Structure 1
Amino acid sequence: VLIWGYLHHFIAGVRHLYMDMTHSVSKEFGKSSASVTLVLSLGLTVVLGAKLFGLY
């Protein structure tokens, strides 16, 4: 849970920085980038969790 919390917060921060730099503020972009943020954070959590527990 701690790994996911950190990764999700980090990726969401990068998302917001990107939105601030490119002025990509729209409802459609917000929804799609939120989905990408969730999928990336969950995927990285699985990878790092597997590495942490020695599965590979």
Structure 2
Amino acid sequence: MEGIKRCSNAQSLFGIHQIPSDNQIRNLLDQVAPEQVFGIFKQGLRLLEQQGH
């Protein structure tokens, strides 16, 4: 198994090569008001429910 390069989903699916740490993401999200993301969250949840998930 040596020589096999492992990639995260961020790398293999989205082409992201420099993945921020948990703390970096938290610091960015702390600046966003929850009201700004409620709409997109509700929309995503609704789509999942419609698909039976």
TM-score when normalising by structure 2: 0.38
TM-score when normalising by structure 1: 0.36
Q: Which has the larger radius of gyration?
A: 2
Greater relative contact order, per chain length (Cα 8 Å cut-off, separation 6+) = 1
